[in-house]
Amino acid sequence: MTTPGHLMAAEIAEQPTVLAHILSSYDAHLSPVLARLRAHDTRSVLLVARGTSDHAAIYAKYLIETRLGLPVGLVSTSTYTAYDAQAHLDGVVWIAVSQSGGSPDLVESTEKARAAGALTIALTNADGSPLEAAAELRLPMLAGVERSVAATKTYTASLQWLWLLVEGWAGGSLDAAAGVPDWVAGALDRPEVSEVASRYRFVERLVTTSRGFAYPTARESALKLMETCYLSAHAFSGADLLHGPLAMIDEDRPVVVICPDGAGGRALQPVLEQLDARGADVCLVAPPEVTATSAARIPLPSGMIEQLAPIAQVVPLQQLALQLALSRHYDPDRPRGLQKVTKTT
């Protein structure tokens, strides 16, 4: 008999090793992609993904807009599949992100985008996947086989690859990523995670929020809590939270705030003030540089670069989902009714 959650726990723990492997071996895979991008007359970028990979795509959107100054959109795949729209994609770079590379809607839309003139790139964790075959260029996640239904190491591997891709495309130094494996190792096994899991064991509703590069972390954390713990978790950007959803916040609906050290953290200060005024039960996920009042806190490593910090930010929240699920006697490796590969059309 296997122990519930053992796959998810092992894959969370593997992340520093996976990220170090990517950083030691990316050049051979990335160099031909960067050469093609630099020769391409790019006017805009489209990102296509589902589920956890969609949150990685949102992270890439922030990177591309801030580092490259290009307009970026998230693809509605039904435009190409259900509605059979005829797109004109000359000058477009199309980046498809998928752990499995097997979702039919991603494959079909990428095939159509390539035929419509887009330069297509597939980032997948499965060699020889249909999505790889559909795209002109390929990047391997190099995360190793992921067996738990809840994606963990493929998410952080995707973030690492997307940062390398965008920073390399922008002509920046990739040396800044050297500290990432150590940051992730420092975010593992924080005792405060167990305390927060105990605090929220019987919670049925929860909100996650952040701004900027950390906003995808809020979305990914909410997804992990939903799929492993079966609670109602809603993710909002801090700006959107203040535009209406704040009305539902009270002391009975905890709010997990991922607060980076940087512009995104400064943008969150009015949100933290409003949450404090409402008496909200706030769990602050932040490095020691961030000072704010909260009912609970999960500390993150100090000195992280804001653009790269999401790779480490999500790790204690993955462990929170794991520990909270186990405390409720669920097996997060096998969420009810879910499969590792979701076949959307």
Q: Tell me whether strands 205-210 and 137-140 are parallel, antiparallel or unpaired.
A: unpaired
Output the pLDDT for position 339. 56
3-class DSSP assignment, residue 229 = helix
Written as six digits, the tokens of 91 are 């000058």
Instruction: Evaluate if residue 121 carries a pLDDT over 80.
Output: yes
Instruction: Evaluate if residue 14 carries a pLDDT over 70.
Output: yes
Read off the pLDDT of residues 75-112 as tens digits, 9 standing for 90 and up. Answer: 999 999 999 888 899 999 999 999 999 999 999 999 99
Contact 318, 193 (CB under 8 A): no
Read off the pLDDT of residues 200-209 as tens digits, 9 standing for 90 and up. Answer: 999 999 999 9
Output the pLDDT for position 288. 95
Q: pTM of the full predicted structure? A: 0.95
Catalytic residue among 153, 224, 340, 343: 340
Q: What is the mean pLDDT of the chain?
A: 95
Written as six digits, the tokens of 50 are 């589902």
Instruction: Evaluate if residue 341 carries a pLDDT over 70.
Output: no
Query: Is 61 designated active site?
Result: no
Read off the pLDDT of residues 266-321 as tens digits, 9 standing for 90 and up. Answer: 999 999 999 999 999 999 999 999 998 899 999 999 999 999 999 999 999 999 99
**Rounded distance between C-alpha atoms, residue 305 and residue 307, angstroms:** 6
Residue 102 backbone dihedrals phi, psi, to 5 degrees: -120, 0
Residues 6+ apart with CB under 8 A from 249: 207, 241, 255, 275, 278, 280
Ordered structural domains, the chain, with CATH? 6-178 (3.40.50.10490), 189-327 (3.40.50.10490)
Instruction: Evaluate if residue 344 carries a pLDDT over 80.
Output: no
- Closest by Cα among 188, 181, 186, 140 to 12: 188
Residue 50 backbone dihedrals phi, psi, to 5 degrees: -140, 150
Overall average pLDDT of the 144-152 stretch: 94
3-class DSSP assignment, residue 255 = strand
- Count of alpha carbons within 13 angstroms of residue 47, beta-carbon side: 25
**Rounded distance between C-alpha atoms, residue 53 and residue 60, angstroms:** 10
Read off the pLDDT of residues 195-252 as tens digits, 9 standing for 90 and up. Answer: 999 999 999 999 999 999 999 999 999 999 999 999 999 999 999 999 889 988 988 8
Instruction: Evaluate if residue 340 carries a pLDDT over 60.
Output: no
